[in-house]
Chains A and B, each alone.
Chain A
């Protein structure tokens, strides 16, 4: 029995696949070919990126950008990164907790839980985030004042949130609604047989969820949550309407000073892009870790 011919000069051309040594040599040849193919593929993709960046650069050259101005004032905009990341991290954490409870509600056979969860998802997915921010920032204090006026000042004062708190609450509630569906799909992806088997072993539903279902569901949930986190980094720019000095606010207000709009907006865009690329890299590593149990 003879294997097909190797295509590069200098290598062996025939393999006797009945012999173990030849089997191994042929296998390593195939693997080397696969590695080279992958490397070529990556190089071609990188070349396309370089080409596209050059086109972008060429288009931007029509804008008459003042690069010296960008470098001089980048520091002021860069100071907003901490706020952007901080707001996004806190919000995605709270949103994940909301989403877990939301998903359990959506999957519950109890009509009250199910009704509340589906109402929440419908309301917060069905209205724009910016409008939610305005309502939480402007509307909640008015409710709080009415509660205070009725003799519960401690309860009323809880409704008066600062700009950052309002932004975090709006982002958490909005993203929590979208992520409820992610968590629901993740939990549903775990075969029903797992629930039945756990029940047969005498585990309660709570134990089954915690020990059996969620660990398996997380493998599906985490990449999708990471995706939401990347989206949120950009949506957090909406909190700038309340005067939170994050990246967009700083770029926008600084641009007005000297009418350097394109310079400052491109700088902000570049910062968000770098943040996203970094988050994608972190996420890919996390997914690689999660996929370990799948590799044999």
Chain B
């Protein structure tokens, strides 16, 4: 009996210490106002995410300010005096970019202030946000893998994939003419899967107009464009890449031209946590409604032209979100 006690007593003590320690670690370090939010989302009493967002008066959006022109930092911007953003959250004026303006516009249409948190991209795509933020506006491509963890919103813009050929070339008039030719692009990207005929994008039917082409893989897109710039057919006959990437290379003096219309679109959408503790359906509906309105009234077109110099948003409006079956 006393032998048993000798073993059990220390365990009980440790349990008490752990229980005692857990509370002070969690509580005092929390800046005022922040500790309350997870507690609310944890309890079953909170109705749904939309009413929680409206009750607290702020929409918390994740962004990684490492990707101009989508999201980048603004130096030495004093936070507005009346901001509701607290703790780790930063008000909108600390950033600039297409994603930032889009998120601010969505929040405005929900009638709340936007606050940003800046976790690593891996933590955003991993899901399981634990109510730390409500929405990701991070130019996230819709993929089947991410759909396991996240709900996607109506796409707010797209990355069109287009073929580029040397400007001296006169024999190719449309993408289909590239069948059997040598096409470069970044390996492991969707471009390689398109040439292989294996590409699948959720919610999109892809028309593989180029067949039997040989794919030359590169680490990134720019070396492929540089090899094509050496001359028509010298190393490559064409490059398949993102429309803004190819257009940017031409704008910087690269001797290339775009061949025909984009062959497919990667849809870039907002994302919401599938593992959220409370109901997110009405919140998803509200975000989708806001994005559709921003497509309809030209807000996204204007923003896209402001940051990318071209309208990348249009195809996002016609995307059939219901086809994702999420």
Question: What residues of chain A have their CB less than 8 Å away from a CB belonging to chain B?
Answer: 73, 75-76, 90, 94, 101, 110-113, 116, 134, 137-138, 141-142, 144-145, 148, 153, 156-158, 160-165, 168-169, 241-245, 249, 252-254, 256-257
Chain A residue numbers with a CB within 8 Å of B323 are none
Closest chain A residue to B277 by CB distance? A145
B130–A110 CB distance below 8 A: no
A93 to B7, CA, bound (A): 30
B80 at the interface (CB under 8 A from A): no
- Other 9 A-B pairs with CB < 8 A, given A142-B130, A145-B277: A90-B29, A101-B17, A112-B7, A141-B128, A142-B128, A142-B275, A160-B132, A163-B119, A257-B73
Nearest opposing residue in chain A for B129, CB measure? A141
Pairwise interchain contact B123-A162, C-beta atoms closer than 8 A:
no
Q: Which residues of B51-70 have CB atoms within 8 Å of chain A's CB atoms?
A: 62, 64-68
| Secondary structure of the A contact surface, majority rule | helix
Which 10 pairs across A and B sit closest by C-beta, in order of nearness?
A: A141-B130, A243-B118, A160-B38, A157-B42, A243-B119, A241-B120, A256-B66, A157-B39, A257-B72, A160-B130
**Whole-angstrom CA separation of A144 from B22 in the bound complex:** 12
Q: Is the CB of A160 within 8 A of B76?
A: no
Q: With a CB–CB cut-off of 8 A, which chain A residues contact B128? A: 138, 141-142
Can you report 18 residue pairs joining A to B where beta carbons are below 8 Å apart?
A: A110-B6, A112-B10, A134-B122, A138-B128, A148-B44, A160-B42, A160-B131, A162-B30, A164-B29, A168-B29, A169-B25, A241-B122, A241-B123, A243-B118, A243-B120, A245-B90, A253-B65, A253-B73
Q: How far is the CB of B155 from chain A (nearest CB, A)?
A: 25
Contacting residues, chain A, for B66 (C-beta < 8 A): 252-253, 256
Chain B positions within 8 Å of A76 at CB level: 73, 75-76
Number of chain B interface residues as a range: 35 or more
Q: Does B43 contact A (CB under 8 A)?
A: yes
Q: B26 contacts the other chain (Cβ, under 8 Å)?
A: yes
Interchain CA distance A43-B156 in the complex, whole Å: 65
Q: Do B130 and A145 have beta carbons less than 8 Å apart?
A: yes
Bound-state CA distance A242–B67 (Å) is: 17
In whole angstroms, how far apart are the Cα atoms of A95 and B76 in the complex?
Answer: 35
Q: Is B212 an interface position by the 8 A CB rule?
A: no
Residue A94 contacts which of B22, B25, B67 (CB distance < 8 angstroms)?
B25
Return the chain A residue nearest B127 by Cβ. Answer: A138
- Are the C-beta atoms of A145 and B42 separated by less than 8 Å? yes
| Bound CA–CA A161/B38 (angstroms) | 9
How does the 8 Å CB contact mask read for B147-191 relative to A, with 1 for contact and 0 for none? 000000000000000000000000000000000000000000000
Q: How far is the CA of A169 from the CA of B21 in the complex (A)?
A: 11
Instruction: Note all chain B residues with C-beta closer than 8 A to A253.
Output: 65-66, 72-73, 118
Q: Determine whether B206 belongs to the interface, using a CB cutoff of 8 Å to chain A.
A: no
Residue of B nearest to A147 (CB): B42
Name the contact of A73 in the complex, choosing from B26, B64, B75, B275 (C-beta under 8 A): B75
B47 to chain A, nearest CB (A): 15
Instruction: Determine how close the nearest CB of chain A comes to the CB of B248; give it in whole angstroms.
Output: 15
Q: Does B126 sit at the interface, judged by CB under 8 A?
A: yes
Residues in B whose Cβ lies below 8 Å from that of A165 = 25-26, 29-30
Question: What residues of chain B lie closer than 8 Å to A156, measured between beta carbons?
Answer: 42
- What mask results when residues 1 to 27 of chain B are scored 1 for a CB within 8 Å of chain A, else 0? 000001100110010010000110110
When distances are taken between beta carbons in the complex, the residues of chain A under 8 Å from B22 are 158
Contact B26 A158, beta carbon cutoff 8 Å: yes
**How far is it, in angstroms, between the C-alpha of A169 and the C-alpha of B90 when the chains are bound?**
23
- Closest residue of chain B to A249 (Cβ to Cβ) is B118
- What are the residues of chain B within 8 A of A163 when measuring CB–CB? 88, 117, 119, 132
Residues of A within 8 A of B64 (CB): 243
Contact of A256 among B65, B123, B130 (CB under 8 A): B65
- Give the distance in Å from the alpha carbon of A113 to the alpha carbon of B7 in the complex: 9
- Expressed in whole angstroms, the minimum distance between the Cβ of A155 and any Cβ of chain B is 9
Q: Assess the B123–A153 pair: CB atoms within 8 A.
A: no
- Interface residue B253 (Cβ < 8 Å from any Cβ of A): no
CB distance from A235 to the nearest CB of B (A): 16
Q: Is the CB of A243 within 8 A of B117?
A: yes
Query: CA of A241 to CA of B66 in the docked complex: distance in angstroms?
Result: 12
B271 smallest CB distance to A (angstroms) = 16
Distance to closest chain B CB from A167 (angstroms): 10
Once A110-B10, A256-B68 are accepted as A-B contacts, the answer to whether A138 and B126 lie under 8 Å apart by CB is: yes
Asked if A242 contacts B119 (CB within 8 A), the reply is yes
* Closest partner residue, chain A, to B120 (CB atom): A241
Chain B residues contacting A111 (CB-CB under 8 Å) are: 7
Is B261 engaged at the interface, CB distance under 8 Å to the other chain?
Answer: no
Task: Give the docked Cα–Cα distance between A162 and B28 (Å).
Answer: 12
Residue in B closest to A169 when the chains form the complex, CB atoms: B25
Contacts of B132 in A (CB 8 A): 160, 162-163
Interface flags for B71-91 (1: CB within 8 Å of A; 0: not) read 011011000000000011010
Question: 0/1 per residue, B254-283, Cβ < 8 Å to A?
Answer: 000000000000000000000101000000
Complex: A269 Cα to B197 Cα, angstroms: 48
- List residues of chain A with CB within 8 A of the CB of B29: 90, 162, 164-165, 168
Q: Give Cα distance in the complex from A153 to B34, angstroms.
A: 17
Are A254 and B275 closer than 8 Å at their CB atoms?
A: no
Chain A hits for B10, CB < 8 A: 110, 112-113
| Contacting residues, chain B, for A148 (C-beta < 8 A) | 42-44, 277
- Complex alpha-carbon distance, A34 and B68, angstroms: 61
In B222-266, which residues have CB < 8 Å from any A CB? Answer: none
Nearest neighbor of A151 in chain B, beta-carbon distance: B44
With most chain B CB atoms within 10 A of its CB, the pick from A73, A94, A163 is: A163
Q: What is the CA–CA distance of A256 and B11 in the complex, to the nearest angstrom? A: 51
